[in-house]
Amino acid sequence: MKVIVTEDYAALSDAAAEMIVELVKSKPDAVLGLATGETPLGLYERLASDFKANGTSYKSVRVINLDEYKDLPASHPQSYARFMRERLFDRIDIQAGNTYIENGTAESEEEECRRYDLLLDKMPRDLQLLGLGSNGHIAFNEPGTSFDSTTHVAELSESTLRDNARLFGDISEVPRKAYTVGLESIMQAKKILILASGANKADAVRGMIRGEISENLPASILRRHADCVLIADGEAAAKL
Ligand code: GLP
């Protein structure tokens, strides 16, 4: 894994944005696997500004997202579908029909997972963006998830519920389950870009880079990927 340490969050966001803009310019019909969470907010802000200033076009780009809370409709203020629309899609020229995310309110979990796996197979990702959970999760693949996992419904760990409660007001409001792309599917992307910012990620970053490759720390699987880049700010990289 290539590790880039930036001075701060702004520089992390600049570096990530540069990578994605370069990719979209060189391959206008790129398939991007994108992520939610606070970490990519600066990156999305920069993609939107670059679109406004330089017109980098996403008309032929397709985006397939990692995860979605179970039972939240796409219109819910905390759904990841809404997050993506507000933070990125409504601010660039991507076509709504070219964006994909799990349907949190699908009638059958099994069919929804199958539908998503077929989509992932049909749309090989040129780049997969990831955030990092403070417990080492990627997407909603919590510690203990099989490295062979495909799309599934995950039970969120207590630490993830606590981490994500800040966005819901109260921990009791956080859905306890979520659809997530599996670890095997993440590893199929041609390139992976993982971002980590802040002191609360320092242990997970250290475990991912220096610990053993183990299902106890899902992000450690990324060391087996041939083209994976970590961009971490100084705080997140402090324990390396
Ligand atoms: C969430 C999401 C992940 C995200 C991670 C880190 O639970 N499911 O996709 O990468 O946790 O979030 P944040 O960037 O807000 O720290």
The ligand 1 atom at the shortest distance from the C-alpha of residue 139 is 9
Q: Is 188 exposed, middle or buried (0-12, 13-18, 19+ CB in 10 A)?
A: middle
Give the active site residue among 137, 152, 164, 225. 137
How distant is the alpha carbon of residue 162 from its chain centre?
Answer: 19
Q: Active site includes 135?
A: yes
SS3 189: coil
pTM: 0.98
pLDDT reported for residue 22: 98
Distance CA 79, CA 186 (A): 21
Task: Tell me the pLDDT of the chain (240 aa) as tens digits.
Answer: 999 999 999 999 999 999 999 999 999 999 999 999 999 999 999 999 999 999 999 999 999 999 999 999 999 999 999 999 999 999 999 999 999 999 999 999 999 999 999 999 999 999 999 999 999 999 999 999 999 999 999 999 999 999 999 889 899 999 999 999 999 999 999 999 999 999 999 999 999 999 999 999 999 999 999 999 999 999 999 999
Nearest CA to ligand 1 atom 11: 133
- Which pLDDT score is estimated for 167? 86
* Distance in angstroms (rounded) separating the CA atoms of residues 96 and 156: 29
Distance (Å, rounded) from C-alpha 185 to C-alpha 230? 18
Q: Is the dihedral of CA 62, 64, 65, 70 positive or negative?
A: positive
Of all protein residues, the one whose alpha carbon is nearest to atom 10 of ligand 1 is 131
Question: Hey, what long-range contacts does 166-173 have (CB within 8 A, 24 or more apart)?
Answer: 167/78, 168/78
Residue 197 Cα to ligand 1 middle (Å): 11
Amino acid code (one letter) for 28: P
Q: Which stretches does DSSP call E strand in the chain?
A: 2-6, 31-34, 62-65, 67-69, 99-100, 127-130, 152-155, 177-180, 192-196, 228-233
State the DSSP string of 136-163: S-BTTB-TT--TT--SEEEEPPHHHHHH
What tokens appear for 94 in the block?
Answer: 């991507």
Which of 36, 142, 157 should be mutated for ligand 1, with most atoms under 8 A from CB? Answer: 36
> Could you tell me the sign of the dihedral formed by the alpha carbons of 126, 226, 42, 137, in that order?
positive
CA 204 to chain CA mean position, Å: 16
- The pLDDT value recorded for residue 125 is 98
- The whole-number pLDDT of residue 192 equals 99
Write the pLDDT tens digit of every residue in 159-191. Answer: 999 999 988 989 999 999 999 999 999 999 999
Rounded alpha-carbon distances, angstroms, from residue 77 to 53, 71, 72, 80, 132: 29, 13, 9, 9, 22
- CB distance 61 to 33 below 8 Å: no
